[in-house]
A and B are shown apart, each in its own frame.
Chain A
Amino acid sequence: MAMRPSRIAPADLLDRKYANIAAVTSIVLSLLGAAALVTCMIVIEEMSGLAAAYLATWVVLLAIVIAAGAAVLRGQTWGLQFSLIYYIVVAAGSLVLAAWALMPDGAKWWPAQWVPVATVLVPVLCGAGGAAVLFVLASAAGSRLRYASIVAVTIGAAVTLVVVMNLAAQSELKPISMETSGLYGPSGRMERILRSLSTQVRLTCAYTAADKKGKKLSRKHGPRTLEFLEDLAARSDNVVVVDACSDVAKAQVIARLRGQLGDKATKHKEFLGQFVVSGGTVAEGLSKEAQQWESLSEAAYLDLWGMSIAVPRRLRELAEKAQKVRDKVDGELTGSGLPDHAALADEAKGSLEETQRDLEQIARLLRQMAEIPIKVTENHKATLKKTQDCVAAASEMARTIGTPDKPRPSNPSSVLGRFITASRETARRARLTAKALGDIGGVQNADLVRTSTVWQFQLPIDSRLVARTTVDHAYRLLAERISEMVLDAEGLIKAAKKEYQAQAIVQMRPQVVQLARSFRDAHEAAQRAAPSLMTVDEQTRKVFNQAENDLTFKALLKTVEDLLQQAKDLPKLKTSTLTTDITADNIVIIEADKKVQVVEFDAVWPVRRPSLGLAPAAAEDTEQQRAFNGNAGIGSKILSMTSKPFATVLLTYYQLPPQLQRMAQPAEIDPRELSTLRRRLTEANFLVKEWNVAEPMPKVQDDQPQTRVLLVLPPPSPAPMSMGRGQPQFGAEHVSKIRQAVDSGIHAIFLTHFFRPRRMSFFGPPTQPRYGLSEYLEEDWGIEALTGYLVVPAVPDEQPGKFRVSIPRLGYLPLNNFSDHPIGKPLQTQRVLWGVLCPIRAVDSPPKGVSIQPLLSVPAHWHDTWATPRFMALIEQFNASESNQVTPEYASGDMPAPFDVAVAAKRGTNSSATTLPGRTRPTTTQATTAGEAHQVKPARIVVLGMGRSLTDDYLAQPVRIQDLDRTIRDYDPPRANSDVVVNSVYWLIGRENYIAAGPATHFVLIGETVRIVLAIIFVAALPLAVLVAGATVMVVRRR
């Protein structure tokens, strides 16, 4: 394009007539535009600095355009070139913006205040377009300037057309996914969840944008998660996606959520605001009180209890704590994070309650203390008289037995008799004195008096032992000691010879003298303590006066009480982990119906091979292999936020009370082993509860889903004869409960599997345990669970027609031959692995009204897989073999393929059992009264012969598999196993449209050696071959 400016145009470059018209038009348009902009700048008062600068730039640009127009009038071509480009750009820009504004998505881009600006786009487009045409005409026909002008216009038009076409393509037209694995896009179930949305759901992707140490994962995971969310938005108008991968964007989201959550907790916000103001006052007040207490240095009376040190210390602690909580609340409320109003209110309330409790306790103590001097003044004389009497009695007691320097008594029994009488009197007096001393400060204040320092007393028990006790308790101890001596003396009189009595008296004399001395010491201690307790110093008097008039901490307590009253009136907020969850990196925030939830990174990207806790420390730096689980992780949250749980799944099992469990047979599947399955069911929008059939069925609350589904675990087998006699066991009454539940229209899934033979007595051989529900299933549904048959997966042997079974391969069978039944069809492409399977067989003539359909079968052409009832024989064969694999002989009784391992059954209203006049079957009738009318409602059941493969061992742990090269390696757990149960529940409750499968993740299976060889070929050899070919061609051509 010719853009070389020339100061003066050659005469043949410009068409003077059109040049003048174009220049004048341009000048007029520019002046109008500048006038409009200046008017805007004057009229709009609250214009931001940025907007003002933007408008000013336009005014300057327009001034240049006016100058360019003037140049054209003077015959200068640069003015034409500049003006032409300017008007092409303005016309193209206004056309693009106008088209954008018309797009359904484009409207969202226009801030409300820009809408008036949008209306001027049409006149701007017309004006600029017209001016551009005039400037093209202004160039002389056939001149280079005319060519350049036309090229500029056509390029401008082409670029505009391309931009508008792309804008149009951005919106509305739905993408077509040709992917078959479901790895990247929304699953069928997710699509249904999106279709059922009636409320707007905002999905905010807040994945860490930049790499940080230990967060290398987010590089690929963030974009892929965002891409998935955008796919959801493309499929539903109710889904809005916000990209908050930068820190700034995440802060904006948190700020918005702050406002949103604050609106839901207005009362809490009010209280916390008040707490921030008054909490500071409380802390200050506590500090002031502490200072005042510290100044009571001369309050000797209070110091009897250490109050002048303990009280200010505690007050300072309370002040610090109150200030700390107040600062925390203030920080959370004014900070940039998401405040947890409920938790903050609880913390503030806790701090206030603690302050109130301690202040009230101190005030109460002071009131009690104030009574003590009065009471002691009243009681001390009488009490000290008693202590004096005790001293006299003790002296008498010592006199009766004699002092240690006296010779052996000649009549010891008489001495002992007198000693006993005197001792009894002394002990009696000591007890009375103890009581009087205890109550010296008033009966209510006995404990308080005991804690005073003056009431503490060192009581010498004997020459070595000294007990630290209170004065009143000392008398009790002395009384007890005397009583012991009386007992000894009585024993001596009754049983000892005279010689021995005399010797004993000599030994007792020093002890009795010590006791008498102790009475004197105790009396002196009481004498010393009484005046201290009676005499109150001036400072203490003032404190006591305040306490007696209930003025202690009055103002502080009033403030605290007011705040606590406000806290008591707060409405209950749902406890949530949102505030902590939202601080995590790599999260998806879901907002729907004023609810906010966070989907954590691990929920969207679970670790493919969970660590068994044995990973080396170095592994922390390496990237963990994760699988995308967005459909389940995000879909389930959306579902639970926008709809109530579809049904209650009752995990049905039989368990004895804990005290009887020791004697019972272990359950084939413990309910605690199903935590992964429970989580999957919860994610699929079911409420999971438990029902121990030994107890009544749990009632469903009004706010819980009324539709119930039983997930029946295999009951424990009967206990061995020698152990289980008399123990309660799973039996007819429990079967009857399950039958009644199903007959009342509750659907059920029965989990079963191959039961390993067990010893039923100490000496007998292992026998096959019985499946407690086999008769029920056979009689009511025509389904046989062959729990005595183990499905044996084998591999073809070198010998034709024979198959090898290895111990490592016995634990899993990769069987996904699902039928077209709604439960199984989506799983036909999934990776599933089963273990300890048992066949499930439909009887030839099922009960009328019952229809049975297979779900999963071992196909007829799987000659290497069969079911055998001879498990023990197989084990013996392994035991006899030197290797871990055997080639078993096929025997009669073995069940060849095809056979089913899972079936689904329906029973309609025309069932033969619709109205049963009481059941007469021998095993299950005990709990059913004969002749009792029994209404049977339509029901559905699913019987799965792979129950063992649904436990945590299978679903959450790596699977150890023997590869074809016989190497044992760990593989990802078969997560799709649990989909069988989830899909079954959906089918049972009639929500087939939610049945789906997770992504069909396939993994590369290649040996390292093969991989290296291939890498060398493709990275080096093949490109080298291309280079050699090129070189050969060159050489040949040169010849």
Chain B
Amino acid sequence: MTTRKTLVVARRELAGYFFSPVAYVIGAAFLAGSAFVFFFGLDLFGIPLFNAVLKRGGEAALRPLFEVMAYIMIFAAPLLTMRLMSEEFSSGTIETLITAPITDTEVVVGKFLGVMGFYGVLLASTLVFLALMAGFGRADPGVAVTGYIGMLLLGAAFLSVGLLASTLTNYQIVAAITGIAILAVFGVLMQLIVRHAVPPWNSVAAKLNAMTYFKDFSRGVLNTRGLVFFLSATALFLFLSVKTLESRRWR
């Protein structure tokens, strides 16, 4: 695998996002959703899921913002990645890619870096919330740093899952639904099992719950278990994506 070829693919993908209407819609929705919770919080049938962050007299903490962004990513990541491979399959451009002097790994990693770049831009746009918190309360710099590190790691893992889903099908919408389903298992279902199951199943579920690891970052704690979880999950799903793409050669 050469870095140059990978970066070429990444640049092409990143540029593709800025020319894609879907990416703008997702970006706007991500910002609007985060901002809504930041200012108003979120209730579901009267049950407070997230408390408003920028509320007079509220605790000046960024943690709720990071946590809500993590949940938004369950939906946003597959939507961002759904087109990465599915579009190539459906439009037939995959044949060009396969026959080009570029390995499957370079294709997958390049596309992953491209979507990560776009995700980075999205994440950077949320720094305005940090500025607001600094202005009207007191943002804990440690929590801010670890929170963004956590968001990057979680984003990488979620996007790699989305990428795998995209390599599995020719249809973007199927890829998005598949990705959301996989992420919902690791981000929501496991959370419910943690809350309602009895030991040891709740502990097992906690080990598989991506949000458990992310919570460490969102409260300012750098933990090897979180780092390993997200990095290994990213690597595994990228590996599976490569293998899935490879299988097209000999199937």
Contacts and interface: CB of A to CB of B under 8 A. Distances in A.
A183 B240 CA distance: 40
B54 A625 contact: no
A159 B236 contact: yes
Contacts of B215: 227
Contacts of B55: 1004, 1011
Interface in A1012-1039: 1014-1015, 1018-1020, 1022-1024, 1026-1027, 1029-1031, 1033-1034, 1037
Contacts of A630: none
B221 A1030 contact: no
Contact of A162 (B38, B48, B232, B246): B232
B195 A245 contact: yes
Size range of the interface on B?
35 or more
A1034 B221 contact: no
A714 B198 CA distance: 57
A144 B250 contact: yes
Contacts of B145: 178
A458 B242 CA distance: 114
Contact of A1033 (B19, B27, B142, B216): B19
A145 to B, nearest CB: 10
Interface in A141-199: 144, 147-148, 151, 154-155, 158-159, 162, 165-166, 168-170, 173, 175-181, 183-185
Contact of A1 (B136, B227, B247): B247
Contacts of B57: 625, 971, 1003-1004
Interface string B27-49: 11101100110111000000111
Interface in A393-419: none
Interface string B204-245: 000100000001100111111101110011011001100100
Interface string B137-179: 1101111011000000000000000000000000000000000
Contacts of B133: 1004
Contacts of B219: 179, 183-185, 227
B101 interface: no
B138 A1002 contact: yes
Interface residues on A, range: 35 or more
Contact of B21 (A243, A625, A1018, A1031): A1031
B67 to A, nearest CB: 10
Nearest to A623: B48
A910 interface: no
B136 A1006 contact: yes
B213 to A, nearest CB: 10
A1004 B141 CA distance: 16
A183 B218 CA distance: 12
A178 B31 contact: no
Nearest to B31: A1023
Given A173-B225, A249-B198, A1015-B40, A1003 B232 contact: no
B198 A1023 contact: no
Contacts of B24: 1026-1027, 1029-1031, 1033
B47 A216 contact: yes
A165 B61 CA distance: 32
B198 A169 contact: no
A569 interface: no
A1014 B23 CA distance: 25
A1026 B251 CA distance: 42
Interface string A557-601: 000000000000000000000000000000000000000000000
Given A185-B220, A1006-B54, A147 B207 contact: no
B196 A209 contact: yes
A1033 B128 CA distance: 24
A694 to B, nearest CB: 45
B182 interface: no
A969 to B, nearest CB: 8
B28 A1024 contact: yes
B60 interface: yes
A159 B29 CA distance: 34
A211 interface: yes
B220 A1019 contact: no
A584 to B, nearest CB: 20
A180 B138 CA distance: 11
Contacts of B61: 181, 183
Contacts of B202: 243, 246
19 contacts: A2-B250, A2-B251, A159-B236, A178-B145, A179-B142, A179-B221, A181-B138, A181-B140, A184-B63, A216-B48, A227-B219, A246-B197, A1004-B60, A1011-B39, A1011-B56, A1018-B132, A1027-B24, A1030-B25, A1033-B18
Given A166-B207, A1015-B39, A1027-B28, 18 more contacts: A151-B246, A165-B232, A169-B227, A169-B228, A173-B223, A181-B61, A183-B219, A184-B221, A185-B221, A216-B48, A245-B195, A1007-B56, A1011-B54, A1014-B132, A1019-B32, A1019-B39, A1030-B24, A1034-B19
Interface of A: 1-2, 109, 144, 147-148, 151, 154-155, 158-159, 162, 165-166, 168-170, 173, 175-181, 183-185, 209-211, 216, 219-220, 227, 231, 243, 245-246, 248-249, 623, 625, 627, 971, 1001-1008, 1011, 1014-1015, 1018-1020, 1022-1024, 1026-1027, 1029-1031, 1033-1034, 1037
